[in-house]
Chains A and B, each alone.
Chain A
Amino acid sequence: MLKFPIYLDYSATTPIDPRVVEAMIPYLSEHFGNPASRSHAYGWEAEKAVELARADVAALVNADPKEIVWTSGATESDNLAIKGAAQFYQSKGKHIITLKTEHKAVLDTCRELERQGFEVTYLDVQEDGLLNLDAFRAALRDDTTVVSVMMVNNEVGVVQPIEEIGEICRERGIIFHVDAAQATGKVEIDLQKLKVDLMSFSAHKTYGPKGIGALYVRRKPRVRLIAQMHGGGHERGMRSGTLAAHQIVGMGVAFRLAREEMATENERIGLLRDKLMNGLTDIEATYVNGDIAKRVPHNLNISFAYVEGESLIMAIKEVAVSSGSACTSASLEPSYVLRALGRNDELAHSSIRFSIGRFTTEEEVDFTIDLLHRKISKLRELSPLWEMVQDGVDLNTVQWAAH
């Protein structure tokens, strides 16, 4: 039995795995202690659970548990990493490099640093969504102190060349931050191998609860940060605030499950995504956004030409997906990520991000393919642009009465 709307928006958030929920509940009731309470069993019990979770998070990315700092989520981790490092190392320089396709948590943090007197270079990506390493090398300066590049893009799912960027940064003594919110459980991350100094994680993109995340802070060579949250000196002074033990336990179990099940899960999800992709690219005038090979198996971002994004979302309300157009939020803004990939406004507007996950079934994918076929054809029947293209008109030669 299909349950509607079919959830194909796993990159927005994931449901908490029932095994995670089960592990969390005792820490909301009988094991309610404050992990910082050193004087009694309630505190010791909570602290033990927190440290177990820290080890599980570290294990997924092959790091030392001592390198994991709890935060409220990837947004906070990005803020702490970029502001914290830029401010700590500002005597060495005040230049930061990032990409135009980064998440807003990185871009807005960089904007804030610009207001504080830092200089930021926002690099273009190639048409496939990937960073060109030569362009990256050319952007480096003597006063560059921090580089921030996401591992997996949230909209198009492409995987950036983190290993290569890391080598370049380490060679020049530049702090390298990676937002891995969309990467955990989807691609292998080995921090013994990758020359990454700071890495942001989120629990809720990987079947854990919302409101909890972590920042990896490398110990060898040691990376220093200026704290952005002051208080009781928790997390070795890097992030004060009472630890949310139940959330942390949830993140720990979620990341342990990701480590144990990633290989088989990605294979299954990849097959479903390919089925969806083949089923949809069957439709005339469709374009897959972003490189297909260097991409997580969960993501399919596709533009349907000659239909408008918002009416498309309306037409396919039986599936829960994300639109590449922000016009539903009152402003008619096409996705800045798709624009950075060189897509024109129309194709950016008519793009849909399908993201597949742990609980997606083949039946759901089949239904989605059929639904899209029916609705795209209906909307194109309605579309004067489609009619003109069928009549052999080149839309680029038309003089539009802009409004």
Chain B
Amino acid sequence: MAYSEKVLDHYENPRNVGAFGKDEAGVGTGMVGAPACGDVMKLQIKVNGQGVIEDAKFKTYGCGSAIASSSLVTEWVKGKSLDEALDIKNTAIAEELALPPVKIHCSILAEDAIKAAVADYRKHQEAKGE
């Protein structure tokens, strides 16, 4: 399969690979996908006191397009508020990486990962507030 230059770039040099400590303050973790389907993405965001995502990390089990989609998303969410991050649509990811139709599910998974990470962060904040 022919991959776009951008997919290859993210695949060869993935950005922000890694993990934050599970109990670190301001961290939200989203894990989506399933091994049997061939993709699992773990996206973590670190939110500062102003509600801005100041850092993000990922790990992905999946094809080149899945790795590239999650790598790209870590770059995009940085500096955004939670609501701005939730506005990132899979179509934008697919367009930026020039994903072929059979790989659109990778961009959908990346969008889901953002949603899951934000939801996890908010859940923790609510738990703290109580």
Contact = CB atoms under 8 A, between A and B. Distances in A.
A binds B: yes
B1 to A, nearest CB: 5
Interface stretch (B58-66, B72-80, B89-97): B58-66
Interface stretch (A56-64, A244-252, A258-266, A305-313): A305-313
Interface stretch (A101-109, A141-149, A270-278, A327-335): A327-335
Interface SS of A by simple majority? helix
B58 to A, nearest CB: 8
A330 B40 CA distance: 18
A387 interface: yes
A324 B3 CA distance: 20
Contacts, number: 85
B34 to A, nearest CB: 3
Given A400-B35, A403-B34, A306 B61 contact: yes
Contact of B59 (A308, A332, A387): A387
Given A306-B61, A310-B63, A400 B40 contact: yes
B36 A402 contact: yes
A383 interface: yes
Nearest to B43: A384
A51 interface: no
A41 interface: no
A402 B60 contact: no
Contact of B35 (A330, A381, A382, A385): A385
Contacts of A327: 38, 63
Contact of B63 (A308, A385, A401): A308
Interface string A88-114: 000000000000000000000000000
Nearest to A399: B34
A307 B62 CA distance: 7
Interface in B39-74: 39-42, 59-64, 66-67
A17 interface: no
Interface string B1-41: 10100000001001001010000000000011111111111
A255 B32 CA distance: 53
Given A308-B62, A384-B40, A401 B67 contact: no
Contact of A381 (B17, B33, B41, B108): B17
Given A384-B31, A400-B34, A400-B40, A311 B64 contact: yes
A349 interface: yes
Contacts of A332: 37-38
Interface in A351-403: 381-387, 395, 400-403
B114 interface: no
Contacts of A345: 35-36, 38
A400 B36 contact: yes
B33 A400 contact: yes
Nearest to A346: B35
A173 B42 CA distance: 60
A310 to B, nearest CB: 4
Nearest to B35: A346
A387 B19 contact: yes
Nearest to B70: A382
B59 A402 contact: no
Contacts of B38: 308-310, 325, 327, 332, 345, 349
A402 B32 CA distance: 8
A152 to B, nearest CB: 29
A402 B35 CA distance: 9
B64 to A, nearest CB: 5
B2 to A, nearest CB: 11
A310 B64 contact: yes
Interface of B: 1, 3, 11, 14, 17, 19, 31-42, 59-64, 66-67, 102, 105, 108-109, 112, 116
Interface of A: 306-311, 314, 325, 327-328, 330, 332, 344-346, 349, 381-387, 395, 400-403
13 contacts: A307-B61, A311-B11, A311-B66, A314-B3, A314-B63, A332-B38, A382-B61, A384-B40, A384-B41, A400-B33, A402-B37, A403-B39, A403-B112
